[in-house]
Amino acid sequence: MRPARILILVLAAALPGRPEDADAEIRRLLAEDQACRVSGACDEPSRAQQFMREDKIRRCRAALAYLQDRIRDPHTYHDVSVIFQHGDTVDDTLVARELGLLSAFHGRSSGIMACAEDRLLQRLRLPQRFGTQYRGGPAPRLDLREVDRGPWAVTDSLRLDCMVPPLGIAAALGPVQAGQAAWPAIEAHGRARADATGKAPWETDPARSDVRPRLDALARFRPSAWNRARMRGELLRLHGQGGLWLPADYADAATLLLACGRDPVHFLLANEWAAVSVMRGHGGGWAAFAHSWDRFAASVGLESRYGSDGTLLAPSVAPALERLLAEGFQWQGKPGRAAAIRPGFRGLGRNGTQEYPFSSRAGRGACAPGLPD
């Protein structure tokens, strides 16, 4: 048995209470998490230490459920994501982000991927990208924390793709009101990607893509410093024009930007594009997601998380996500295939095996993030 699994079982035995259905347990933990925040109990100085300990215990129990692969309803991963979004470490926030994506891949979409990414960047003392994190301003308003506004910054079109408000609305209204005000635009943006049958066009007509010829032309460029600069310029134009549309386009654009990128912001935008493709059910986006995050992590001094550079998979990565990453790596090198792969939630790879490109899950760090002291 792998060391990480042994540690999980030891932690499970050490926690009080009897085992219960994982999905029901997560719903209960989320209700407790939200009740503390709605009631304002978390703001009472006299209860701060107790509240932090209860928060850590909730994250520990949620970690045991997903790491032991006991979750049956994929939508439950969204609830786990919310619990970890309230964590206090970089690893907690990474778990929140990837479990939000995992839930979206199975049909439970939300803006938590973008929120978790912004919170993660703030923890790294970098500007946020989507504009979801606030600081206290003159009562009763909140002010946006610093947002990246460079040439490779997130556009409002990409914000709507990721189900968060455009930047102007977020800055003017604050988190709650901005979400309510922007929801019609988010819904309209999603409907624009559906055809007359109500189904997404990438499900009914996978070959439909206005930018496919441009992406294919970029893929044929011979590697050179000059061509990489040309590729970056063309991808930047596509980004500014909101030209990416189909999930496969986002995944392939991410792969191209990885090939020509040189700065952390290039790898991060590639990761965001890959995340959009995954949020729309495109299994081919997982490989680009893993590669781009590991490239970004290396560029800012973080450890590799998904093992795309030959290192070990981080122990806090969910087994369900590990299976999808394996599917994504199998799809690598097949650009333009827009048909969504939605493997059975407990299913194997497309070739019917369980041979994943990771040597071991055991390795660095704590296997259950956010453990109580």
Please provide the DSSP assignment of 34-53 as one string: HHHHHHTGGG-GGGHHHHHH
Q: 72-76, 87-91, 149-153: lowest mean pLDDT where?
A: 72-76
Please check whether residues 15 and 96 belong to one and the same domain.
yes
Higher pLDDT, 289 or 308: 289
- Look up residue 304 and give its DSSP letter: P
Task: Provide Rg for the chain, Cα atoms.
Answer: 20
In a domain, 358, yes or no: no
**Cα–Cα distance, 262 to 228 (Å, whole number):** 9
Q: Is residue 259 part of a domain?
A: yes
The token duo for 355 is 């041979």
Torsion sign over Cα 109, 278, 62, 34: negative
Quote the pLDDT of residue 362. Answer: 32
Q: Which of 26-40, 210-224, 348-362 has the highest mean pLDDT?
A: 210-224
Same domain, 116 and 68: yes
Report how far apart, in Å, the C-alpha atoms of 287 and of each of 91, 185, 334 are: 20, 30, 11
Q: Are residues 307 and 205 in the same domain?
A: yes
**Three-state DSSP state, 144:** strand
- DSSP for residue 162: T
Q: Let me know whether 114 and 223 are in one domain.
A: yes
Mean pLDDT of 126-136: 92
Q: Identify the domain containing residue 323 by its residue range.
A: 3-126+193-331
pLDDT of residue 366: 28
Q: 206-255 pLDDT, tens per residue? A: 566 788 889 999 999 888 899 999 999 999 999 999 888 888 899 999 99
Partners of 135 in the beta sheet?
A: 143
Please check whether residue 306 lies inside any domain of the structure: yes
Is pLDDT of 205 > 70? no
Does 80 fall in a domain? yes
Domains in the chain: how many in total? 2
Mean pLDDT, residues 129-135 taken together = 93
- Would 187 be classed as within a structural domain? yes
User: Is the model's pLDDT at 168 over the cut of 90?
Assistant: yes
Q: Could you tell me if 187 and 223 lie in one domain? A: no
pLDDT of residue 20: 62
Does one domain contain both 197 and 260? yes
Place 361 in a pLDDT band, splitting at 50, 70 and 90.
very low
Asked if the model's pLDDT at residue 91 lies above 90, the reply is yes
Which DSSP letter does residue 89 get? S
Q: How confident is the model at residue 117 (pLDDT cuts 50, 70, 90)?
A: very high
Asked whether residue 366 is domain-assigned, the answer is: no
- Residue 302 sits in the same domain as residue 218: yes
Both 116 and 209 in one domain: the answer is yes
185 φ/ψ angles, rounded to the nearest 5 degrees: -70, -40
How far is Cα 146 from Cα 229, in angstroms, rounded to an integer? 28
Beta bridge partners of 144: 134
186 and 212 housed in the same domain: no
pLDDT band at 151 (very low <50, low <70, confident <90, very high): very high
d(CA 231, CA 219): 9
Task: Tell me the C-alpha distance between 222 and 240, whole Å.
Answer: 25
Residue 99 belongs to a domain: yes
Q: What is the pLDDT of residue 188?
A: 87
End-to-end Cα spacing for the chain: 26
224/103 same-domain check: yes
For residue 55, give Cα distances in angstroms to 83, 93, 116.
8, 14, 17
Q: Among residues 192, 226, 248, which one ends one of the domains?
A: 192
H or E element that contains 188: helix 175-191
Q: Which of 11-25, 117-131, 210-224, 298-312 bottoms out in mean pLDDT, i.e. has the lowest?
A: 11-25
